[in-house]
Every structure is written in C-alpha cells, then in structure tokens.
Amino acid sequence: MTENQNPLSPHLQIYRWHISSLLSIAHRICGVVNLFSLILIFFWLIILSLGESNYELFLLVINSFIGKFILIGFTWSMSFHTLSGIRHLAWDMGYGFEIKTANISGIIVIISSLVLTIAFWLLGRGLI
Amino acid sequence: MNATRKWILHRVSAIILAPLFFWIYFSLISLSTKNYQEAAYFFENSLFTVLTIVLFFIGFFHAKISLNEIFEDYIHNKKTKDVANILALILSIVIPVIILILFTYKL
C-alpha cells in the first residue's frame, strides 16, 4: 500500500511555530497568569493588614525557593505581557506589520522581557 | 458596552497599567526583603495607597474585558459563557472594592 500523500489539517503538535504565533498565544497566557499575580498581590496586602506574625510567615513563604520561583515567574510574565502589549499598541496604530519587522520586534520583546526581569530582581533586591 | 468603546477602553487601561506595573513590581520585590515594620510603613504612604487602588480598579477592569474576549473564543456553550462572564464581572468589582475598604480603614 502506498503512503497517503494527502495533506492533513495542521495539528498543534506538528504545526510549525513562528515567532508571531508563539508570541500571540504567550501574550494571552501571560495575561491570565498576570491576573493570578494581581490576586497574589491582593492577598499580600490582606496578610500585611493581618499583623506581624502572619506577615512574617508570609515573608518566609515568598522567600523560599518555590516562593521566589513563582515571584520571578510572575515578574517575567508581567514584563513580557507589558512589552508585548506595547508591540500590540504599535500594531493598533498601524506600525510594524511587515513580516521582517514583526519578527524582529518579537525577538526584541522576548529578550527585553528577560533583561527586564533580571533588572527588576537585581535592583529591587538591592543587589546592584 | 459597544465593541469599539470596549476596544478603546481596553487600550487606554493598558497604557495606564504599563507604568503602574513597573512601580508595583519594583515596590513588592524590594518589600520582600523588608520586615513587617518597614512594610507597614510603606503601606501608610499615601502615594502607595492611591497608586495601589488605581492599579486594582484599572487592572481588574482590563482583566475583565480580556476575560470576556477569551471566553468568547473558547467557550461555545452560551449558558456557560454567560456564567463565566458574570463571575469575571463580580471578581473585577469585589477585589478592588475590598482593597479600597482595606486602605480606607487602614489596617
């Protein structure tokens, strides 16, 4: 039996990823993650209002390995969504639609979101 | 709310949120190294109060419009979608209002 040469509809697993499609879905996922980060900030402030012993416990949790991992993840997610959002605003104003420009701006968003996350933690933690 | 207005308000809220994001993350990351007294002192700062309240109201407004879009794309059952949209609306009102009350009555 000869192999079926007909094209199949694109399954997500075999679909060739482009920067544009990757960033598009990542923008959305990070937006949802950011909603959770806002909810975490909400609890942060609630716990702060509950007094010292509760807050000291909360500080232990967020300064643990997992706590830091989550906070750094949230920082990256928020950095990425904000920078990617700026890219979307440029599109809304009609700029940057050429494929080459869109690919370059996508790479800039990815790299600068990582740089921004590192900068936040170095500056915020008083390491530089 | 008609679609055009929703679209514009979504962008306007995004523009307001961008600088607030830089401010709140920088504040919270530095707060994570400080003890309760220093954090509580920060909490009493009126600039921190105003910006946090604005962040929560605009942030949840932005999230609500976005969630409506996401539900529109992925939920195909109309009843489920309506319930999800109502939950998003309630969340976007309740949390900012609690923050407002929290700051109004100061701890």
- CB pairs < 8 Å spanning A and B: 78
Q: From B101, which residue of chain A is nearest by alpha-carbon distance?
A: A46
Of A1-10, A90-99, B50-59, B62-71, least confident by mean pLDDT is A1-10
- Residues of chain A in contact with residue B32, where contact means CB-CB under 8 angstroms, are 59, 62-63, 71, 124-125
Number of neighbouring beta carbons within 10 Å of residue B1: 9
Closest C-alpha to A81, from A34, A11, A19: A34
Out of B24, B30, B40, the one facing A126 most closely (by C-beta) is: B30
The more confidently predicted of residues B11 and A5 is B11
- The pLDDT value recorded for residue B19 is 96
Q: Rounded distance, CA A112 to CA B46, Å?
A: 32
Q: Topology of domain B3-104, per CATH?
A: 3 helical TM bundles of succinate and fumarate reductases (1.20.1300)
- The pLDDT value recorded for residue B79 is 96
Tokens of B95: 């949390």
Interface contact flag, B98 A35, Cβ < 8 Å: no
Q: From B49, which residue of chain A is nearest by alpha-carbon distance?
A: A45
Please report the ipTM that was assigned to this predicted complex. 0.93
- Name which of B7, B12, B25 to mutate to probe chain A: the one with the most chain A Cβ atoms within 10 A of its Cβ: B25
User: Which letter does DSSP use for residue B33 in this model?
Assistant: T
Taking the complete model, does pTM exceed 0.80, yes or no? yes
Domains identified in chain A and CATH numbers: 19-124 (1.20.1300.10)
Of A8-12, A37-41, A97-101, least confident by mean pLDDT is A8-12
User: Which letter does DSSP use for residue B93 in this model?
Assistant: H
Tell whether the model's pLDDT for residue B42 goes beyond 60: yes
Question: Within A4-64, where are the H helices?
Answer: 19-49, 52-62
Q: From A41, which residue of chain B is nearest by alpha-carbon distance?
A: B28
- The pLDDT value recorded for residue A2 is 63
Mean pLDDT (chain A, rounded): 91
